[in-house]
Amino acid sequence: MKEKLWGGRFKEALDSLVFDFTKSIEYDWFLFEYEAYSNIAWVEELNRLKLITSSEAKKLVKSIKELLEDYFKGKAKIDFKEEDIHSLFYKLLRKKAGDLTDKIHAGKSRNEQVVTVMRMFLKDALLETGELVKNLQKSMLKKAMIYAGVVIPGFTHLQYAQPVLFAHWMLSFVTQLERDKQRLNDCFTRVDILPLGSGALSGSNFNIDRERIKQDLSFASIGSNSMDMVSDRDFILEYLNCNLMLLLHLSRMAEDLIIYNSPGYGFIDFGDKVTTGSSLMPHKKNPDPVELIRSSVAEALSSYTFLTNVLKGLPTTYNRDLQLDKKPLFASYLLTIRVLDVARIVISQMFVNKKRASELLCDERFYLTDISEELIKQGLSWKEAHTKVGELIKYAESNHQAINKLDKSVIKNILSRDIKINEYLNADKSVNRKLTTGSTNKKYVGREIKKWQRILES
Ligand code: ARG
């Protein structure tokens, strides 16, 4: 038992099945790099406290750096028989630095160590996720610019509603992703706190210079309560929530794309790079990758609920249950960065079928709201206008005729105003009738494109 980080008081080894059950090395080896950096900072501190000499510190730091190099070259053997990353690291370092390694854990608990390295990992993960969100936004913006003037059908309840610019639809997701990016940035500030110096729960008996370690490890601030530091995992839950919301946005976008690509709609096409075939039906070209984006939020949600359930009712400070926090953290991280990359490729391989969009936009129902609002502008009450336009479509439908084929006098009679109907049955004119900022009017969408260019290119 001596080789364990905690073996002294035990006569017998842990049952092998039980040991396997308690291990976390299968997933926490992911923290190797951060374990190394934090140990370098700790060695410097032990030297400052005169618990090791300067030459011992030098030797240890050199060995840790060699170990890191081995790891980056894929030469550090991750031994999955070890208990966790901290035990593995200790073992590997011992091979390089010998007995000197026995001094390295002085004044430090794994309870504070594990949250320190997780916070370090998460800071990098947050920056990486934010960068990938930005790349996705850029590819969306590019598409919005390519199809800047193209009008597509807009839906509510999946029923024909009003025409909108394709760019307006695309930028709605750029806008949502911007909030997701802001959430990741906000989360960063709450992750960027140093736990080291918290000990197992009550602090350290050594006069640790936390300010120096904070600077060494590039943390923005120092944890102000040792019990809170070893106890809480809110910073992970917050990250899982950021990913959840991000993937929720992409899921809804994916659903739009799948619908718009389906034969009944057909105004979005996908390139071969993002579609798959059927083993039975030779004609098939399915948007499988987009469907998997749609569902990835299910995985993100299970990570979120998993950790919530682990934390619920858990006594404060460290309990071994907390070891499981890494599973949802890594799962959600890997999932999210993958989906972001794939979504970027999907967007670059997505094309607007303008001909099909204008065919759908021939449906007169898209323009009836414009006609109703024109009547209001001409003095009718909302109720009168709404009812009269309702009567017009009812009349046309029951006579199996298009409105623009009806006799002018019939239209005038129903609407009680002389409206030039054909002026209204036009997609381009319809979008430009919108007068509010934030609307689908080409003028405002053009300004939005410029705004996003400025933001995303800075
Ligand atoms: N593998 C453990 C974890 O991930 C490290 C901390 C162990 N601490 C303890 N007191 N058993 O949480």
- Residue 168 has a pLDDT of 98
User: Across the chain, how many H-helices and E-strands are there?
Assistant: 19, 6
* 322 CA closest ligand 1 atom index: 12
Q: With a 6 A CB cut-off, is 307 part of the ligand 1 pocket?
A: no
- Residue 2 has a pLDDT of 59
Residue 383 is which amino acid?
A: K
The best mutation among 110, 111, 326 to test binding of ligand 1, ranked by most ligand atoms within 8 Å of the C-beta, falls on 110
- Residue 149 has a pLDDT of 95
Reported as a single tens digit per residue, the pLDDT across 374-408 is 999 999 999 999 999 999 999 999 999 999 999 99
CA distance 178 to 185: 11
Nearest CA to ligand 1 atom 4: 323
- Coil/strand/helix, residue 153: strand
Tell me how far CA of residue 121 lies from CA of 221, 318, 329, 386, 445, in angstroms: 16, 20, 10, 58, 39
CA distance 45 to 212: 8
Nearest CA to ligand 1 atom 12: 323
Tell me how far CA of residue 333 lies from CA of 71, 79, 253, 328, in angstroms: 21, 23, 20, 8
DSSP state of 287: -
| Cα 361 off chain centre by | 34
Strands 268-270 and 221-222: unpaired
* Secondary structure E strands in 87-130: none
**pTM listed for this prediction:** 0.95
CA distance 260 to 347: 14
Q: Ligand 1 centroid to 311 CA: how many Å?
A: 15
Q: With a 6 A CB cut-off, is 113 part of the ligand 1 pocket?
A: no
CA distance 34 to 289: 33
* Secondary structure E strands in 79-207: 151-156, 159-165, 193-194
CA distance 292 to 254: 9
Q: Ligand 1 centroid to 323 CA: how many Å?
A: 6
CA distance 332 to 123: 14
| Cα 71 off chain centre by | 28
Q: With a 6 A CB cut-off, is 110 part of the ligand 1 pocket?
A: yes
| Cα 135 off chain centre by | 12
Residue 208 is which amino acid?
A: I
Q: Ligand 1 centroid to 74 CA: how many Å?
A: 25
**One digit per residue, pLDDT tens: the chain, 458 residues?**
556 777 788 888 889 999 999 999 999 999 999 999 999 999 999 999 999 999 999 999 999 999 999 999 999 889 999 999 999 999 999 999 999 999 999 999 999 999 999 999 999 999 999 999 999 999 999 999 999 999 999 999 999 999 999 999 999 999 999 999 999 999 999 999 999 999 999 999 999 999 999 999 999 999 999 999 999 999 999 999 999 999 999 999 999 999 999 999 999 999 999 999 989 989 999 999 999 999 999 999 999 999 999 999 999 999 999 999 999 999 999 999 999 999 999 999 999 999 999 999 999 999 999 999 999 999 999 999 999 999 999 999 999 999 999 999 999 999 999 999 999 999 999 999 999 999 999 999 999 999 999 999 98
Classify the C-alpha dihedral 269-273-278-283 as positive or negative.
positive
DSSP state of 219: -
Q: Which domains does the chain have, with CATH numbers?
A: 16-106 (1.10.275.10), 111-359 (1.20.200.10), 362-457 (1.10.40.30)
Question: Between vectors from CA 436 to CA 433 and to CA 439, what angle results, nearest 5°?
Answer: 75
Length of the chain: 458
The best mutation among 83, 307, 323, 327 to test binding of ligand 1, ranked by most ligand atoms within 8 Å of the C-beta, falls on 323
Interhelix angle 110-146/85-97, nearest 10 degrees:
110
Strands 193-194 and 221-222: parallel
Q: Is residue 53 a contact partner of residue 103, using CB atoms and an 8 Å limit? A: no
- Residue 439 has a pLDDT of 98
Strands 159-165 and 151-156: antiparallel
Residue 200, burial from CB neighbour count under 10 angstroms (0-12, 13-18, 19+): middle
Q: Ligand 1 centroid to 16 CA: how many Å?
A: 18
Strands 268-270 and 193-194: unpaired
Question: Between vectors from CA 216 to CA 214 and to CA 217, what angle results, nearest 5°?
Answer: 70
Q: Ligand 1 centroid to 437 CA: how many Å?
A: 54
Q: Residue 316 has which token pair?
A: 């404060």
Q: With a 6 A CB cut-off, is 364 part of the ligand 1 pocket?
A: no
Q: With a 6 A CB cut-off, is 30 part of the ligand 1 pocket?
A: no
Residue 365 backbone zone (phi > 0: left; psi -120 to 50: alpha; other: beta): alpha
The best mutation among 21, 26, 30, 84 to test binding of ligand 1, ranked by most ligand atoms within 8 Å of the C-beta, falls on 84
Nearest CA to ligand 1 atom 3: 323
Q: With a 6 A CB cut-off, is 111 part of the ligand 1 pocket?
A: yes
Q: Ligand 1 centroid to 337 CA: how many Å?
A: 27
Annotation marks residue 157 as catalytic? yes
* 318 CA closest ligand 1 atom index: 10
- Coil/strand/helix, residue 10: coil
Q: Ligand 1 centroid to 29 CA: how many Å?
A: 13
Q: With a 6 A CB cut-off, is 233 part of the ligand 1 pocket?
A: no
Classify the C-alpha dihedral 204-205-211-212 as positive or negative.
negative
Q: Is residue 419 a contact partner of residue 392, using CB atoms and an 8 Å limit? A: no
The best mutation among 32, 121, 314, 320 to test binding of ligand 1, ranked by most ligand atoms within 8 Å of the C-beta, falls on 320
Q: Is residue 237 a contact partner of residue 308, using CB atoms and an 8 Å limit? A: yes
